[in-house]
A = this chain, B = another copy of it.
Amino acid sequence: MFKLKVLCKEETEKALKMSDVIHSIEEVYKQKALGDTEVFPLIFHEFTSGVADMDIKSGWLKGSGLFGLKLVSWFGENVNKQLPALIGTVLVFDDKTGVPIGILDGSYITGIRTGAAGALGAKYLARPDSETLLIVGAGHVAVFQVAATLTLFPNIEEVMVYDPMDYRSAESFVKRIRATLDQNFHMQVKETTKFTAVKDIKNATENCDIIITVTPARAPIIMAEWVKAGTHFSCIGADMSGKEEIDPEIFRGARIFVDDINQCINIGEIEIPIKKNMITKEDIAGEIGEIIVGRVKGREYDEQITVFDATGTALLDLMTAKLAFDEAEKLNLGTSVNL
């Protein structure tokens, strides 16, 4: 009989501090660069085309002694049933014994680790004196991007938010953001930091140091000719073939990093520029973990355009879940059940 730790969404939220999650995700990228991780093949099944599917992502983090999986169900009609359309379940095992450690709801984990990923792209590639942040897409993941980036760049003076679908989403997002950062992330943002909903994406791009894109777009939102020298992009939204958020021209001459080279070529933001022969695989400077371990240089000069293409793997979820179990233990959160 084993003791299985169970955390519900609220407990997972309480257990995770953004600064710890960022540190954990950095550790995953590092382990990947050192060859200490394995991602297992993806299982995908569509129950009804365009209506309901599920996937199982799994992998092994040798350096952290754990393996496991995240099963994500997407059931579009759940919105009519007072249920979330996207449901994630993460199950973590000990790699010394094969014993299950714990299970938790994967939705919060997915959001917070994705925020950490976007911000880490900025940490390793943006100019350290960056003062302006533009978030493109005011959906579910946006708040995590803001929280993570402000954690690493507390001196950001202005956070602009643009929503390509509906300006009002951006407006209501910036109205709530201070309270959300305070309540959900215990972050007291400087009084002087401005949060602005923007209507003019061209103008916002022209005046921005760090741009993080988190939309499900299938056509570029940001055009190359608007981008000022020295801008950094963390492209988060593109996670399946056909998705793209920024003009493929931006990649010409940019210093490009990815989280996983093969996955990004297949489903990331670099998929389309490579398919259009605007860049080749050789134009990818490396994986972000290679900067972290000191193998490859990140930004080379201030005026350089940099891009981090992040598609995400189960490893991020497993590491964040393990962190949640460990912190929950300290805080006496969650339920231990016999399995």
Interface residues of A, Cβ cutoff 8 Å to B: 1-2, 4, 6-10, 38, 40-41, 43, 45, 47, 52, 54, 56, 58, 60, 67, 69, 71, 73-75, 78, 81, 83, 87, 89, 91, 93, 95-100, 103-105, 335, 337-339
Q: How far is the CB of A45 from chain B (nearest CB, A)?
A: 6
Candidates B7, B41, B67, B338; contact of A54 at CB < 8 Å: B67
Is the Cβ of B73 less than 8 Å from the Cβ of A71? no
Contact B339 A337 (CB under 8 A): no
> Are A56 and B54 neighbours in the complex by a CB distance under 8 Å?
no
Distance in angstroms between the alpha carbons of A81 and B58 in the assembled complex: 26
Separation of A73 and B2 alpha carbons in the complex (Å): 14
Residues A45 and B38 in contact, CB atoms below 8 Å apart = yes
User: Is there contact, CB below 8 Å, between B105 and A87?
Assistant: no
Contacts of A38 in B (CB 8 A): 45
If A98-B52, A103-B339, A337-B6 touch, whether A60 touches B43 (CB-CB below 8 Å) is no
A2 to B7, CA, bound (A): 11
Pick the contact of A98 from B8, B75, B98, B335 — CB < 8 Å?
Answer: B75
Q: Which residues does chain B contribute within 8 Å of A335, judged by CB atoms? A: 335, 337-338
- Known A75-B97, A338-B8; judge A43-B41 contact (CB<8 A): yes
In the bound complex, residues from chain B placing their C-beta under 8 Å from that of A75 are: 96-98
Closest to A73 in B: B98
Contact indicator A47/B95 (Cβ below 8 Å): yes
Q: A83 to B94: give the CA distance in the assembly, Å.
A: 13
CB distance from A216 to the nearest CB of B (A): 19
Chain B residues, Cβ within 8 Å of A52: 95, 98
Measured in the bound complex, the distance between the Cα atoms of B2 and A83 in whole Å is 9
Bound CA–CA A96/B104 (angstroms):
21
